[in-house]
Structure 1
């Protein structure tokens, strides 16, 4: 039986978050986005300064997923309006995908936000990302399409929601 655990990340964990992201980002997006867009977004979203700002100023909570003393994934989320939380990021190392770790991690996010009074959890997923099926299996439903500018690039996403209660 696999045993997973989570811990709340702090600014001291930023190098660990970057390490996980460096091993996850490119395999996740290489068939969807250009190398230039991947590099641009990585620098924009995952620089130490950007992650610190997300934690300290934007109210994003990060949790780390570990298995057998190895950190294998993370998620970040925040309350965007009373009762509505947004899952900003959820990544599990490619070699760990398919073993229940992603389900465990999203379950922990859901447990936490519901404890905080959430009645809705939202997330964005690229329209070509196969993770959409994973979210739908977890009860998320497509609400609409969104085209989000990031610098000179566009993220062509679905907005998904899961309602509680």
Structure 2
């Protein structure tokens, strides 16, 4: 499959919102229930919330598309010498095609001065945990409120060194 990575723009946001809704329901309905997933995606992935990310300093918001449809997205922000990967999602029907790997590599390459990259992931999200572990991430702790949104969703904190000789 051929796909392209590029910086997200305002025109992409409705498709990003839809992609997030589809991937969240696919991943989290069985864990949280449809109603809670609807609530979370409505609040966390509103067009207003996504638009704010387009102009955040020290951040990268990238999308993957096939020239017609959005297939994946990633958003990360530099905090000190650490890159915080806030989002990396690929449509369920396109997972395993290298899109997530390409998005992760792009995000890591965007912050050459960073020493680490970290993220939070639900402890029950087995597919995501496997993906990140295959990409060199290691457990570094736990969070009681994933994303600090007040929803009290526990998460595993994963981190990986970005230094070439580490």
TM-score, L = length of structure 2: 0.87
Q: Which runs of 5+ in 1 are unaligned?
A: none
- Corresponding residue for 2:12? 13
- Corresponding residue for 1:120? 116
- The offset of 1:58, in angstroms, is 6.6
SS at match of 2:31: coil
- Measure the CA separation in 1 of the matches of 2:102 and 2:56: 27
- Corresponding residue for 2:142? 145
**1:86 correspondence with 2:79:** no
- Measure the CA separation in 2 of the matches of 1:40 and 1:58: 28
- Whether the aligned pair in 2 keeps the contact of 1:24 and 1:92 (CA below 8 Å) is yes
- Corresponding residue for 1:111? 109
Q: Which runs of 5+ in 2 are unaligned?
A: none
- Measure the CA separation in 2 of the matches of 1:59 and 1:51: 16
TM-score, L = length of structure 1: 0.88
**1:42 correspondence with 2:41:** yes
SS at match of 1:99: coil
Q: Which has the higher strand share?
A: 1
Question: Cα deviations across residues 135-164 of structure 1 (Å, max 9, x unaligned)?
Answer: 00100011001110634x321101111112
- The offset of 1:50, in angstroms, is 1.3
SS at match of 1:103: helix
- Whether the aligned pair in 2 keeps the contact of 1:126 and 1:156 (CA below 8 Å) is yes
Tell me the matched-pair count: 160
- Corresponding residue for 2:132? 135
Moved more, 54-63 or 35-44: 54-63
